[in-house]
């Protein structure tokens, strides 16, 4: 899959770098869209978001705003399309983080709900590009991590080694 990109050259390079960060460590390949029924459509809509998984047909990834144009943010959104939830939404997350529900802005509550995930027999990844820090979408929303609150968490530099491993496992890459 290859996104339909309606952006300037620097934005396109940023998005393509995110795709390359995934492709270089997994069997997932992004190919230019021609006639495929299922494809990604990266558009400058409101904020940074994507739907979970590939439902079929055109799938929009929004990357509007200065905070969206980082290759690690592109990786984050592409991982959503590949079927990954936020690390803080894993079924086993309560063993690793504490959610402070009273501090979460109402419009972001849905981003903190647990999903019924298999976790791919992988350990919790504080360094995942799918993890947020403690001050995202709330003040503070997470007490991180258990048992050592001084371990850093969340980043938008690119996929962690464990992120790439999980993509390979989920998509039967055999790497």
Same domain, 55 and 107: no
Mean of pLDDT values over 63-68: 78
Active site members: 77
**Does 8 fall in a domain?**
yes
Mean of pLDDT values over 123-132: 92
Residue-number span of the structural domain to which 138 is assigned: 87-170
Give SS3 for 98: strand
Tell me which range, 31-45, 65-79, 115-129, is most confidently predicted by mean pLDDT: 115-129
pTM for the full predicted model: 0.86
Pick from 65, 81, 97: which residue ends a domain? 81
Same domain, 163 and 101: yes
The CATH number assigned to the domain holding 110 equals 3.40.390.10
pLDDT at 111: 84
pLDDT at 91: 96
Number of domains in the chain: 2
Identify any residues that bridge with 48 across adjacent strands, giving them in sequence order.
63
pLDDT at 24: 96
**Does 175 fall in a domain?**
no
pLDDT (tens digit, 9 = 90+) per residue, 128-155? 999 977 655 555 556 666 767 677 777 7
Same domain, 42 and 71: yes
The three-point CA angle 171-63-22 to 5° equals 30
CB atoms within 10 A of CB 6: 11
Confidence band for 107, pLDDT divided at 50, 70 and 90: confident
Same domain, 47 and 91: no
Give SS3 for 75: helix
Which residues lie below 8 Å from residue 152, measured CB to CB, with a gap of 6+? 126, 127, 133
Query: What is d(CA 107, CA 123) in angstroms, rounded to the nearest whole number?
Result: 29
């Amino acid at each position: 899959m290859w996104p339909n990109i309606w952006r300037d050259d620097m934005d396109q390079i940023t998005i393509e770098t995110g795709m390359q960060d995934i492709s270089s460590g997994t069997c997932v390949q992004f190919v230019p869209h021609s006639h495929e029924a299922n494809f990604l459509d990266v558009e400058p809509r409101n904020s940074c978001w994507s739907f979970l998984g590939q439902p079929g047909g055109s799938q929009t990834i929004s990357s509007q705003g200065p905070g969206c144009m980082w290759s690690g943010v592109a990786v984050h959104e592409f991982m959503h399309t590949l079927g990954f939830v936020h690390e803080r939404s894993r079924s086993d997350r309560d063993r690793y983080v504490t959610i402070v529900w009273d501090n979460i802005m109402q419009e972001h509550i849905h981003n903190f709900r647990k999903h019924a995930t298999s976790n791919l027999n992988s350990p919790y990844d504080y360094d995942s590009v799918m993890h947020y820090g403690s001050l995202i979408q709330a003040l503070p929303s997470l007490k991180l991590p258990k048992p050592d609150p001084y371990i850093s968490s969340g980043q938008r530099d690119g996929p962690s080694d464990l992120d790439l491993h999980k993509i390979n496992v989920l998509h039967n890459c055999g790497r």
